[in-house]
Amino acid sequence: MADPRFFHRKGPFSIKEIAELTGATPVNAPDAERRFDDVAPLQIADSTILSFFDNRKYIDAFVGSSAGACFVRPEFADRAPKNMVLFTTDDPYRAYAKAATAYYPFETGNGVISDHAVIDPTAKLGTGVQIDACAVIGANCEIGDGTIIASNAVIGDGVVIGSGCKVGAGATISHSLIGNLCLIYPGARIGQDGFGFAMGPQGHAKVPQLGRVVIGNDVEVGSNSTIDRGAGPDTVIGNGCRIDNLVQIGHNVELGMGCVIVS
C-alpha cells in the first residue's frame, strides 16, 4: 500500500461506487455497500484492498491473492479465489487506473502564493493557483485555475498555462502556450531556442527562432526533457501526449494526438 507520508488517500469506496466509476461489472458481490480501503498489487493486497489482474503471466499471483476485490477479464473469473469480489471488464488496467485515481486524486492548487515567489504585477492568476517559494512568474503570464507552480520554476513573459496543471520544481517555460491538465515534471525545459544556424565556411550564423511551443490538453512532459520552440512555425504537442524523462523534441516538430515518446 502507498506510504501515507507521500500519498494522501481518499475513500473508502463501495462496490457500487467502484462499478459506477469504472464501468466494470461486479461479480460475487452480494453486498453492494461493502467498501474497500485502498488499491495495491495482488501480491501484497489483503481483504480490504482492491487490485487488478491484466497480464496472464501473473496468474499465480491472482489465484493465490488475498485481495478483497480485483478487476479481471471475464475469461479469468473462474480462476479467482473463492471469496474475492470481481469487477469484470475487457480492460482491467484502465479500470484500475480510474479507481486508483479516485483513491489518490491528482494534486490541484491550494491557492497559497508564497511570499518568496517573484510575480510580475501584470501576470493574471486564476482561482486557486498555488505558487511555491522562489518560483518566478513573468510579465503578462496567464495561469489557469488550480494550477501549481513549484519551487524554483521560471515562467517566462507572456506564457499561458491552462487550468489544473502542475509545473514541477526547477522547470523553465518560455514562448509557450500550454493547455489544461498538463503535468510538466521537474527540470523540464520548454520554449528555448531551437538549434538553428546558417552554416558555412565563414562560421555559423544564428537564425532567430521566432516560433512558439503549443501544447494541448492532458499532456505530460517528463523530468529533464526539452522542447525547443519553432524557428518560424510552431513546435506542436497534441492532446494526450506522453513524453518520457530525458527526451529532446526539436524545433518545428509536430506531434499528433496521444503520441508516446520514450527516452
* Mean pLDDT computed over every residue of the chain: 97
User: Does the annotation mark 251 as catalytic?
Assistant: yes
Ordered by start, the domain boundaries in the chain are 13-103, 108-263
CATH of region 13-103: 3.40.1390.10
Q: In the prediction, which pLDDT does 26 show?
A: 98
pLDDT at 64 over 90: yes
What does the CA dihedral 179, 182, 187, 191 come to, rounded to 10 degrees? -20
For 19-51, write each residue's pLDDT tens digit: 999 999 999 999 999 999 999 999 999 999 999
pTM of the model: 0.92
- Summarised one tens digit per residue, pLDDT across range 94-148 is 999 999 999 999 999 999 999 999 999 999 999 999 999 999 999 999 999 999 9
* Active-site residue, from 8, 116, 204, 251: 251
Q: 210 pLDDT exceeds 90?
A: yes
- CATH 2.160.10.10, applies to 108-263: yes
Confidence at residue 1, expressed as pLDDT on a 0 to 100 scale: 78
Q: Residue 198: what pLDDT? A: 93
What's the mean pLDDT in 236-255?
A: 98
Q: What is the mean pLDDT of residues 57-86?
A: 97
